[in-house]
Amino acid sequence: MGIIERIKEIEAEMARTQKNKATEYHLGQLKAKIAKLRTQLLEPPKGASGGGEGFEVTKYGHGRVALIGFPSVGKSTLLTMLTGTHSEAASYEFTTLTCIPGVIHYNDTKIQLLDLPGIIEGASEGKGRGRQVIAVAKSSDLVLMVLDASKSEGHRQILTKELEAVGLRLNKKPPQIYFKKKKTGGISFNTTAPLTHIDEKLCYQILHEYKIHNAEILFRENATVDDFIDVIEGNRKYIKCVYVYNKIDVVGIDDVDRLARQPNSIVISCNLKLNLDRLLARMWDEMALVRVYSKPQGQQPDFDEPFVLSSDRGGCTVEDFCNHVHRTLVKDMKYALVWGTSARHNPQNCGLSQHLEDEDVVQVVKKKERDEGGRGRFKSHSNAPARIADREKKAPLKQ
């Protein structure tokens, strides 16, 4: 029996099992088995050369956004309108067969936009090049799920289910669970919050399914069984997602209003060029890019080329800014002067841990190198010999 058949068999068993207090341990073990099988499904087959055809493109710019959706929902048209890059668009499905990149120039930054082939139901099992599409989505900073406003809303649930099956968690935060494997000592279970979805016995059974008998576990929140399995697997990607409903020009105003009020959603029309500026602003807010301008000492700030920081790519502190400028600047920095919304007063004398905000201006003051003779009226060190024996004898007085 193949992996896909085993997954379907376990899913059928979970569907016919009643959910109550007596069966929660059995359902927890079944969820762990499915998670293990899906991890095996994503791994390349043993003995394979690993040279399979893919369409991964090189990262470019200050952020990466992936367009995901069913065929013929307007992904290629949206890429062409936002970036100017030509992507073939037609009325038939699967017009795009590979990954087509484009660049959005917005707020002095460059954002890479990827037009991916349409995925279908069963993409997590490899149908329709679904694995390659999802692999590129995992490397993105933001996912735009493009949906057809005139079709069934079940498409959103199908796509979310396919992405979650391969380890993509949309609009979720990592669970506050500390987990560490150990060599000896058994299983140590602790919690700082009341647990209503999972208990110590169920944790032991799930760890036994993974053949883990020595570990340290600490729950800092009321997590579920799925959250605990995600922490054990350790290969989950938590990514932001915006649901983009296209073709609103073919539905009624009541449907447009209902779709626009859903969380993490935005409505557009590529045919009539409606609400595209609002989409760009929403992308900018979700990616949370921080532009920092440098100011050389005694000169005006350079507002032409900002240094773009992001919490997803390194961080947004003064130390991260110094590493963007030069890797040795952190060692040479004495302090930094910061102008902007992150400073309490302008300018503020800051250290490496200061958190920067968008459009801040930073001037880095370096340490001054001391000369051999010291500085000021007093020397910092003496040039005299360390031992008396090394001192030079004075010349004798003239007779």
Q: Which residue bears the tokens 């900073």?
A: 141
Instruction: Decide if pLDDT at 327 tops 90.
Output: no
Over residues 39-49, the mean pLDDT reads 60
Residue-range definition of the domain harbouring residue 131: 63-88+95-172+237-286
Q: Do 303 and 314 belong to one domain? A: yes
Domains identified in the chain, total number? 3
Q: Does residue 136 sit in the same domain as residue 243?
A: yes
Say whether both 102 and 206 belong to one domain: no
The pair of structure tokens assigned to 313 is: 């790519």
pLDDT tens, residue by residue, 360-396: 999 999 887 654 444 555 555 666 666 766 667 777 7
pLDDT of residue 88: 64
Shared domain check, 266 and 144: yes
Q: Looking at the structure, tell me whether residues 140 and 225 fall in a common domain.
A: no
In this model, does residue 20 exceed pLDDT 70?
Answer: yes
The residue whose two tokens read 């007093």 is: 378
**Distance from CA of residue 236 to its chain's centroid?**
11
Q: What is the pLDDT of residues 238-267, one digit of tens each?
A: 999 999 999 898 888 999 999 999 999 999
- The helix (H) or strand (E) run that includes residue 89 is none
Out of 286, 304, 319, a domain closes at 286
User: What is d(CA 112, CA 97) in angstroms, rounded to the nearest whole number?
Assistant: 19
Which tens digit of pLDDT belongs to each residue from 201-229? Answer: 889 888 988 889 999 999 999 998 889 99
- The lowest-confidence range among 54-68, 172-186, 203-217, 292-306 is 54-68
In a domain, 393, yes or no: no
∠ at Cα 15 (10, 18), nearest 5°? 115
> What's the confidence (pLDDT) of residue 243?
93
Q: Quick one: pLDDT at residue 92?
A: 47
Q: What percent of the chain has pLDDT over 90?
A: 29
Nearest to 53, CA basis, from 151, 132, 133: 132
* Same domain assignment for residues 134 and 257: yes
pLDDT at residue 51 above 50?
no
- Looking at the structure, do residues 244 and 277 belong to the same domain, yes or no? yes
Q: Where are the beta strands (DSSP E) in 28-134?
A: 63-69, 100-106, 109-115
Report whether pLDDT(333) > 70: yes
Encoding tokens for residue 67? Answer: 């367009």
CATH number at residue 275: 3.40.50.300
